[in-house]
Amino acid sequence: MSKGYAWTVFALGFGLLLSDYMSRQVLNAVFPMLKAEWLLSDAALGSLSGIVALAVGVLTFPMSLMADRWGRVRSLLLAATLWSLATLGCAISASYGEMFVGRLFVGIGEAAYGSVGIAVVLSIFPVTLRATLSGAFIAGGAFGSVLGVAVGGAVAQAAGWRWAFAAMGIFGLVLAAVYAVVVKESRLAPHGRRSDDDGTEARGRLRTHLPRLFSSVSVVSAYAGSGLQLFIAGALLSWLPSFFNRYYHMAPGTAGGAAGGFALIIGLGMIFGGVASDRISSTAPVRKWTVAVACSLGALLLLSLAFQLPTGSVQLLALAVGCLLSAGSAGPAAAMVANLTPASIAATAFATLTLANSLLGLAPGPAVTGALADRFGLLGALRIVPLVAVMATLAFLVGRHWYERDLLRLTGLTTKAEPKHPSETPA
């Protein structure tokens, strides 16, 4: 396909990912309003955020497996429509229970999107851009969080929290309609192959390659390290609006805007981490692991320092740099998963990564932080959260140790050799 169409697909996919996370994170901007109106504890607020990531983690694997077999574009459109309608449902919820059900269906709708969307993007670009595109695409989640908390907070302050949810749901439906018109399954299929040629042969390939999702120590380490590191990012994205509201005495709209700025920094860190990984590892792919380790250790040190400092400009500077590094391992980790799994199950491999990111990071991050906040206060909870980076660092070090021998055993290539054609499995 033409470069123009490939980048159009990327742009629309990125837009849907923005909508995905806008629908997910708008809740965090209205935490203070819901807490006051429904008299909710921090643990209850955290559960409303965590249930989305939990549903994504539990369902992403079967839904992405379905997408690999039955069509990625149709799956993406169904997912976007469902999470948008569920977000509209949240706008009319009358109690915590109804809101919880609405948030559950937001997670069900989002379950397949992250893994299938990134698989579509990586399938139409050269393998040498994998870490960069992975980091940029995953960063869409952080940018969507920026818009979710900033725009959602502003809308909530002007028109009430229900309109904040409604605006996100309407935006998602409009974008899904545009995607349906522009992106066609037949144009994404390899040249000379019918897009619906997915019958017995495809299922046979799938059964053959599925065991390779967990066939090496290094790929399991990439799953674990990525998920554990995103525990920190997930906690920050969910609780920074409340942090600014409580400790800097900002109104909900202003706190949402401030937190949106830090969510933007988290997203930029994902992109810079992917770009740095591709640049540094161009001659030695094993260096991707070094980038991931550096990001984890840097986030541990700077965030621990930030939450020990008094409120003020120095604390905000340390917090900003810590946020920049907190999810910088996302791009390298996604690239390493792509390196060590077959292209024919790309969506399923990224679903496994999404499962790890959700169950180890994005789901427990907000919920555990909320529970800790009820016990130690929000600031005390945020002082504990960065310690998870110790476990993420250990996972990345283990993966780095085994990576060269695993790549040689699985693909027959050394870490100094990379395939030149996108159809080849490793990168």
DSSP letters spanning 336-392: HHHHTS-GGGHHHHHHHHHHHIIIIIITHHHHHHHHHHHHH-HHHHHHHGGGHHHHH
pLDDT at 14 over 90: no
Question: What's residue 2's pLDDT?
Answer: 76
Distance CA(22)–CA(84), nearest Å, equals 10
How does DSSP classify residue 129? Answer: G
Distance CA(403)–CA(411), nearest Å, equals 12
Question: What's residue 228's pLDDT?
Answer: 95
Mean pLDDT of the chain: 84
Question: What's residue 143's pLDDT?
Answer: 79
Task: Give the whole-number percent of the chain exceeding pLDDT 90.
Answer: 41
pLDDT at 343 over 80: no
The larger pLDDT score, comparing residue 348 to residue 221, is at 221
Question: What's residue 295's pLDDT?
Answer: 94
Distance CA(16)–CA(120), nearest Å, equals 13
Which band of pLDDT confidence, cut at 50, 70 and 90, is reported for residue 305? very high
pLDDT at 361 over 70: yes
What are the phi and psi torsion angles at 415 (to 5°)?
Answer: -75, -5
Tokens of 349: 């491999």
Instruction: List all residues 6 or more positions away from 162 whose beta carbon is below 8 Å from its beta carbon.
Output: 91, 92
Which band of pLDDT confidence, cut at 50, 70 and 90, is reported for residue 165? very high
By CB atoms closer than 10 A (0-12, 13-18, 19+), residue 94 is: exposed
Cα→Cα distances 355→44, 85, 106, 115, 281, Å: 23, 23, 16, 9, 26
Question: What's residue 411's pLDDT?
Answer: 63
pTM: 0.74
pLDDT at 426 over 50: no
Write the pLDDT tens digit of every residue in 293-304.
999 999 999 999
Q: Which of 10-19, 96-105, 209-218, 239-248 has the lowest mean pLDDT?
A: 209-218
Distance CA(323)–CA(251), nearest Å, equals 22
